[in-house]
Amino acid sequence: MAVALAMAGKACAGQDAAASPILGVLTTATSAELPAKAAELVKSADTKNIKQTTIDVVKAAVGLNPAAAPAIVGSIAQASPAMAATAAATAVVLVPNQVAVIARAAAAAAPAKVGAIVEAMCRAFPAAYPNVATAVAQVVPGAEKEILAGIVAAIPELKDSINQTLASYNGNIPSVSTVLTQVAQTESSASTTALASGTPSMPRGPSPGPPLVFISGTPPHLNPGTGGTVPSGYRGYAAP
């Protein structure tokens, strides 16, 4: 039984490799060879199919060794800078816990593509935009403009907050971390204001019955000695 299962497993692996030439090539590489082999496959791809090939290669390579995702992305980005953004965005979806390391690897290998890398990664993983931007800024100093432009392209709703922050510096672009800190404060303040504006200024209590209607005229004087007799036209009084 054990031999049969082992043979069946090898047969399935062989079928998968045959169905996917990329996986077939990558499975023959050692862990140390995997990033370079992945980069080689992307670099040798046809121009028309290079983007899809990059996606397929990253998925297969990271699937074989998730811990090597940053190295795989960095190797591809260095060999084919135009595919750095695609490789990084594909990898971050597979291993989102490595977002900052992947961003640094891609940016360090293809510094001229930082704007595209930030945009692609933020589109793939919007919630991680501060981590992506900060990580890229650490390895590519002076790329603040491209990094912020990448964030805006991927997440348009941050455009006003970023422009408002930049405007306060009179044309001088501060560090990415400074901008992101102020943007976070602006977004938090805007959320608080929106919440407050949706709250009624005066609390209103429940209204279980019809509107109160006041009775016209002057109410008569009730003599306590009447023994609880209620004048005509009034109700709701209890006898003493």
Please write the tens of the pLDDT for every residue from 108-135: 999 999 999 999 999 999 999 999 999 9
Helix, strand, coil share of the chain (percent; to 5): 70, 0, 30
DSSP symbols for 139-206 = HSTT-HHHHHHHHHHH-GGGHHHHHHHHHTTTT----HHHHHHHHHHHHHHHHHHHHHHTS-SS----
Residue 233 inside a domain? The answer is: no
Find out whether 69 and 104 touch, Cβ atoms under 8 Å: no
Confidence of residue 82 (pLDDT cuts 50, 70, 90): very high
Q: Alpha-carbon distance 205 to 26, whole Å?
A: 69
Tell me the two tokens of residue 231: 């004048």
Rounded average pLDDT over 123-150: 97
Q: Alpha-carbon distance 26 to 196, whole Å?
A: 56
Rounded average pLDDT over 40-52: 96
Tell me the two tokens of residue 190: 């805007």
Tell me the two tokens of residue 161: 């907050």
Residue 35 inside a domain? The answer is: yes
pLDDT of residue 8: 42
Between 225 and 110, the more confident residue is 110
pLDDT of residue 18: 38
Find out whether 106 and 117 touch, Cβ atoms under 8 Å: yes
Domain count, the chain: 1
Residue 28 one-letter amino acid: T
Using CA of residue 123, residue 108, residue 181, residue 171, what is the dihedral sign?
negative
* Continuous segment of H or E residues that includes residue 84: helix 84-94
pLDDT of residue 151: 98
Rounded average pLDDT over 65-82: 98
Residue 214 inside a domain? The answer is: no
Place of tokens 């709250």: 199
**Which residues span the domain enclosing 17?**
13-187
Residue 38 inside a domain? The answer is: yes
Rounded average pLDDT over 33-43: 97
Residue 192 inside a domain? The answer is: no
pLDDT of residue 52: 96
Place of tokens 């062989």: 14
Q: Alpha-carbon distance 121 to 113, whole Å?
A: 12
Q: Residue 207 above 50 pLDDT?
A: no
Rounded average pLDDT over 217-240: 48
Tell me the two tokens of residue 52: 């899809």
- Indicate the pTM of the whole model: 0.72
The mean predicted confidence, pLDDT, of the chain is: 81
Residue 116 inside a domain? The answer is: yes
Residue 232 inside a domain? The answer is: no
pLDDT of residue 195: 56
Residue 240 inside a domain? The answer is: no
